[in-house]
Chain A
């Protein structure tokens, strides 16, 4: 089946530093990748949608200059949290979709970010 990996699984960083999270589709080409954020006991919140080779589409309220998304290939998307602050501490999950004809999103295992 379709497998999506994320790296790292967890990261602890100091306030003001930048953190990069990688999302890879291992056995399929993902035309679209999605980045979600989930705070404790809350539902998934879509941050942005990215298509390979084009700029990401950010949801309302998500700062594109703070959350940099690069979807350089059909199997890799990266999310960089720039100048992270404690309020950015969250569970970041990526998902990938094979094509627009197939709606299912395959989720990565998530990255837990803790900003001190």
Chain B
């Protein structure tokens, strides 16, 4: 079966750095997305990785290792507005998005 694992909840302090991990086992791989979702809102795009390595975009970076079936989202200089759920999603061989359950990130002052 297809499986995406990410922690259910994480807590971090404003101004700090947090890393949210995602491991996956899917039938084929055509890329991995990270989305941010605030409560009561639709997900918004953060990053897309299809090759191994680190993609940096401002305060957010995303890393992928295809051989390990592993990705992480790194958030720097945390702000209170970063409190949200972070969803990892993998594109499988049928070009369907397989979603993780999301990681709820709580930022404390």
Binding site for B on A (CB under 8 A): 34, 42-44, 46, 49, 91, 93, 100, 103-110, 112
Contact = CB atoms under 8 A, between A and B. Distances in A.
A103 B95 contact: yes
Nearest to A109: B42
Interface string B68-106: 000000000000000000010001000111011110000
A46 B92 CA distance: 14
A107 B87 contact: no
Contact of B99 (A44, A106, A107, A109): A44
Contacts of A112: 40
27 contacts: A34-B97, A43-B87, A43-B99, A43-B100, A43-B102, A44-B99, A46-B96, A46-B99, A49-B96, A91-B40, A100-B95, A103-B30, A103-B33, A103-B48, A103-B91, A103-B97, A104-B45, A105-B97, A106-B45, A107-B42, A107-B44, A108-B42, A109-B41, A109-B42, A110-B40, A110-B41, A110-B42
B7 interface: no
Nearest to A32: B95
A85 B100 CA distance: 28
Interface in B19-34: 30-31, 33
A112 B40 CA distance: 9
A112 B101 CA distance: 20
A23 B91 CA distance: 22
Interface residues of B, number: 20
Nearest to B102: A43
Task: Classify the secondary structure of B's interface with A.
Answer: loop
A46 B35 CA distance: 15
Nearest to B101: A43
Contact of A93 (B30, B42, B101, B102): B42
Contacts of B87: 43-44
A109 B102 CA distance: 18
Interface string B36-47: 000011111100
Contacts of A109: 41-42
A110 B87 CA distance: 16
Contacts of B43: 44, 93, 107
